[in-house]
Amino acid sequence: MAFPLSWDFQQLWGRGMGLAQGWLEGAQQCPSPNCNDRPEGEQISLLVIHNISLPPGEFGGANVRDFFCNSLDCDAHPYFDQLRDMRVSAHLLIDRHGQPTQFVSFADRAWHAGQSCFDGRDDCNDYSIGIELEGTDDEAYTDAQYHRLAQVTRILMMEYPAISRQRIVGHSELSPGRKTDPGAAFDWAQYRKLIRGVEPGT
Ligand SMILES: [Zn+2]
């Protein structure tokens, strides 16, 4: 039995959005130095959803992008002081308007999960992709963000088939007690509905 691609998926390919060398076509590129090679032969098999906003709850502007590229002015806001020596990144950030910015090739190892464990395996950065939604744990995400996240998820699931629906998780699930994102505001049901049909039988 054939499983037809959804209308949404055909539309997105119709717009030419895809991957080139691990970079999302159509996304703004802002390469971060905070990355390294994945372990040799490692299979990409997990997608991690995060949130971030700097300072927390303030949206727009370039602070997150600057933070991931080590160019944030840490004197510009009292909250930023604690970020001074942090070297982190994510593969992709989706802002409140659904616009994606990519910092690290999906083929490479971004520094997004920190101390983490999934299904008995530590150091999730080795085998995962990290996507940040601009937001907070308790403020509703925008429809534009859900649609963009779903669109990107579909592309990634096609490219990296080991990312099954069961292997798409929130950061809080990998680092319980330490991380809470993407928080109660993230509507998993809405998101999962949008990626239905990528895998046979779903
Ligand atoms: Zn996180």
Cα-to-centroid distance, 130 and ligand 1 (Å): 8
104 token code pair: 């690290």
**Among 23, 17, 42, 2, residue whose Cα is nearest residue 151:** 17
Answering whether pTM is above 0.85, one says yes
10 token code pair: 């055909």
* Owner of token pair 């970020």: 83
Mean of the per-residue pLDDT values for the chain? 92
Residue 46: which residues within 8 A CB-CB, separation 6 or more?
118, 124, 127, 128, 129, 163, 167, 168, 169
* Owner of token pair 């190892």: 109
Ordered by where they begin, the domains of the chain are: 7-194 (3.40.80.10)
Cα-to-centroid distance, 51 and ligand 1 (Å): 6
Distances (CA, A) of 67 to 78, 85, 133, 134: 14, 10, 15, 13
Cα-to-centroid distance, 17 and ligand 1 (Å): 26
Q: Which residues are designated catalytic? A: 132
How confident is residue 9, by pLDDT bands cut at 50, 70 and 90?
Answer: very low
Residue 202 pLDDT > 90, yes or no?
A: no
Ranges 34-43, 71-80, 133-142, 192-201: which has the least confidence: 192-201
Q: Measured between alpha carbons, how far is 200 from 181 in angstroms, rounded to an integer?
A: 29
* Identity at 197, one-letter amino acid code: G
